[in-house]
Amino acid sequence: MSWLLPLLAGVPIGLAIGLIGGGGSILAVPLLVYVVGVASPHAAVGTAAVAVALNAAAGVVAHARAGNIKWPCAVVFAFAGVLGAALGAELGKMVEGPHLLAAFGALMIAVGALLLKPRRTPPKPDVRLTRDTAPQLLPRLLPIGLGVGLLAGFFGIGGGFLIVPGLVLATAMPISVAIGTSLVIVVTLGATTAVSYAWSGHVDWPLTALLVFGAAIGSTIGMRIGRRLARAKRALEIGFAAVVMVVGGFVLVGAF
């Protein structure tokens, strides 16, 4: 049974990513703390960061083959994000466990509310970061990337649920392209956070392996369901947002 709970905890993480292209990472810490029974919130954050980075790396290849990655935008966003994630990870380790969980619960509620907001930005499939567009795109990509990285590092999350709307806000790229591009950034932010926490001994490696394996199973199932329910994608996002807000409220109350 010691290996079964981490394996099962990974499934909903991958399921969320497969269904809506992100959001699985924000479930990882509550699942590790309240389902798996990880005693230290810092260990849960570090372990989640490694699992999220590895899970995202597996998805980069598929999206790259499909042409769903805007590489220059990803590199710039990731550069700013890594700086933020490195700072955020150090700040997160300085915060006491209960306070870290309380802040995480508040973030979940805020993210759930953000997901409920309909997207109204008209997509620009041909948007590119070049010398000509840099004056318009860089002032948006850099600060948004820094802010997302700070949150990702602080809470040990991949930040895909923040990166996707951040990329859309900065560049107006289509959601499908933003999801693919976000995975590149999730890998870099998750790896930055993971290295920081691993260096401090806050990563449970056997637990990480089980979590990644479970997430791979969930992601496969989620993608298959997502293809069948493509027309109901907005309904899935609303349902996921509701789950995130409820779990966030539970985490917030349980932290005190």
Q: What is the pLDDT of residues 69-79, one digit of tens each?
A: 999 999 999 99
- The structure's pTM equals 0.79
Q: What pLDDT digit, counting tens, does each position of 172-217 carry?
A: 888 778 888 988 998 888 888 888 889 989 899 999 999 999 988 9
User: Which range, 47-56, 96-105, 131-140, 163-172, is most confident?
Assistant: 131-140
Confidence (pLDDT) at 144: 93
Q: Which amino acid is at 185?
A: I
Q: What pLDDT digit, counting tens, does each position of 42-75 carry?
A: 888 889 888 888 888 877 887 788 888 999 999 9
